[in-house]
Amino acid sequence: MPFTGRHEILTSETEITRDNIVGVLQKALITHAANRAEIHYLWRYYKGDQPVLKRIKDVRPEICNKVVENHAYEITTFTSAYELGEPLQYICRSGSESLADNITKLNEYQMSEEAASKDMELTIWRHVCGVGYKMVLPDERAGVNEIIEDAPYEIFILDPRDTFIVRNNGLGKHPLMGVRFVKDTLGDVRFSCYTRTHYYEIVNDSVVREERHILGDIPIEEYRLNSAMLGVFEPVLPMLDAINTTESNRVDGVEQFVQALMVFYNVDISSEDFDQIKVRGGLKVKDMDPQMKARVEYLVNNMNQGETQVLVDHMYDTVLTIVGMPNRNGGSSTSDTGVAVIYRDGWSEAESYAKLTEAEFRKAERRFLRLILRICRGFGEFGGLKVSDIRIQFTRRNYENIQGKAQVLIQMLSSDKIHPRLAFEHCGMFPDPDLAYKLSEEWIQEQEKKAEKKQAEMMAQQAQQGGANGEAGTDTGDGGEDSGSAPARKQS
């Protein structure tokens, strides 16, 4: 079964209302059913339920090993961790202190909502099936008149098998409706549908609930891995199946060698005698006819493991090349630099692939941030903060080439034509440049205050010592006059 990514769910309607929502939903479910089947297959494949487990062997069916080398799990784990192994950070695009403080507080809200783990869950869905869904709703526990300590919103990661977005098929393909469905206790499928202004619940093709919401947008956001919504290991599914088949056959070859068939030449033996042979491990053969030599031997044909390994290595290297993962070939050179290893072993390709997926993530995250800020403004938070003021920062590899980045930071800080905040932001050394700049500025001010206090103490101490020395000098002068007059009187 070929896999070519998920299909967009489109409609010619320009607005979803109570009158047309059931018809739009029915047509959308046809496309989603196909997407859902593929997503379910890919998710099962990622967890190890792969076609080789249903393998059937016609010749000697009792020797039928089913070996799963779960490279799909390996690929998904690596690419997800490489892209989003460290939490996202929101950074201020301007030098405004008030905006920077608001963005720092937004990062704290995200931390309180465990956004890092939820983004990783979302990223795994994206890498497995090419698309993931994230939802945000106002926190029911937060009140307008209460002091908000945690985030006034809640974030949910939705299962792509039970979630989809309906878009208009016109220019821009703007989203019209977000849908999530579950089975209730009665076994009926309950659809929760969100438009920009209304919330609908549909059961058995009937609208059972309709409410107007104040979010001003669809609270479900679609995060694509790429424009085709193609999973990361989806292009190499045939190659992964071939690796599993080859490895299973290799184990079959070893087992068939151990359990080789026994061939009897010019020997007539009954099944009972053969069972005794298997128990005792041998038999005695006598030539009854001098013209016909009797012999017993095993029928074996060894598999060339060396050539098979070359084939497996070739397929595995091809898989790594296609999905953009670094290989493990290494090298014999002892003069490799860090940059040489990055380019030789494929780490540069991994970085290029990650940047492609980052672009799609940022596009969806900006729309998601717009809704978060709208919810926060309803609670009196972030009144002047806009999405355009926020830069979404992926913090992986911040500590790679740390010495070079530190030198860049020092050089930029030593220039009187570059603002220190720009130095912290563009050196690439800190996951959150605004926080690092703020902490450094506070530390500098603290050190200056300590230095001023220490200098004041030293000046006070010197003043005290100077006063004491002045008094001591006056006493010495008086004593000198007395000592000088005594000899004079004696001489006279």
DSSP state of 364: H
- A 10 A CB-CB count for 341 gives 15
Q: 100-104, 281-285, 294-298, 301-305: which has the highest mean pLDDT?
A: 100-104
- Residue 397 has a pLDDT of 59
Q: What is the rounded average pLDDT of the residues 35-59?
A: 93
Mean pLDDT of the chain: 82
Give the span between the Cα atoms of 48 and 66, in whole angstroms: 12
First to last CA, the chain: 133
- A 10 A CB-CB count for 277 gives 15
CA–chain centroid gap for 390, Å, is: 21
- Residue 484 has a pLDDT of 46
Instruction: Judge whether residue 302 has pLDDT over 80.
Output: no
If one compares 247 and 435, the residue with the highest pLDDT of the two is: 247
Q: For residue 342, what are its two tokens?
A: 């990055």
Give the span between the Cα atoms of 190 and 204, in whole angstroms: 8
- Residue 136 has a pLDDT of 95
CA–chain centroid gap for 4, Å, is: 23
- Residue 298 has a pLDDT of 55
DSSP state of 159: P
Instruction: Judge whether residue 330 has pLDDT over 90.
Output: no
Q: What is the rounded average pLDDT of the residues 221-234?
A: 95
Instruction: Judge whether residue 225 has pLDDT over 80.
Output: yes
Confidence of residue 275 (pLDDT cuts 50, 70, 90): low
| Dihedral Cα 307, 311, 317, 323, nearest 10 deg | -170
- Residue 485 has a pLDDT of 45
Q: What is the rounded average pLDDT of the residues 381-387?
A: 86
- Residue 95 has a pLDDT of 65
Instruction: List the domain boundaries for the chain.
Output: 9-234+352-397, 262-299, 412-469
pLDDT for 171-219, tens place per residue? 999 999 999 999 988 889 999 999 999 999 999 999 999 999 989 899 9
- Residue 253 has a pLDDT of 76
Contacts made by residues 377-382, CB under 8 angstroms, sequence distance 24+: 378/138, 378/144, 378/152, 378/214, 379/142, 379/144, 379/148, 379/152, 380/144, 381/105, 381/148, 381/152, 382/102, 382/105, 382/106
Burial string for 95-112 (b: 16+ CB within 10 Å, else e) reads eeeebbebbbebbebbee
- DSSP helix/strand/coil, 48: coil
Q: 106-115, 238-247, 477-486: lowest mean pLDDT where?
A: 477-486
| Positive/negative CA dihedral, 129, 134, 135, 139 | positive
Q: 55-64, 301-310, 330-339: lowest mean pLDDT where?
A: 330-339
- Residue 51 has a pLDDT of 94
Confidence of residue 486 (pLDDT cuts 50, 70, 90): very low
- Residue 85 has a pLDDT of 80
Instruction: Judge whether residue 10 has pLDDT over 70.
Output: yes
- Residue 471 has a pLDDT of 62
Give the span between the Cα atoms of 218 and 368, in whole angstroms: 10
pLDDT for 406-446, tens place per residue? 888 888 888 888 888 888 877 877 767 777 887 888 888 88
- DSSP helix/strand/coil, 199: strand
Instruction: Judge whether residue 132 has pLDDT over 80.
Output: yes
Instruction: Judge whether residue 259 has pLDDT over 70.
Output: no
**% the chain with pLDDT above 90:** 42
Closest CA to 245 of 431, 52, 56, 442: 52
Give the span between the Cα atoms of 310 and 346, in whole angstroms: 20
Q: What is the rounded average pLDDT of the residues 103-120?
A: 91
- Residue 300 has a pLDDT of 55
- Residue 291 has a pLDDT of 60
pLDDT for 360-382, tens place per residue? 999 999 999 999 999 998 888 88
| Positive/negative CA dihedral, 472, 478, 480, 486 | negative
pTM of the model: 0.76
Residue at 75: amino acid letter: I
Q: What is the rounded average pLDDT of the residues 306-326?
A: 89
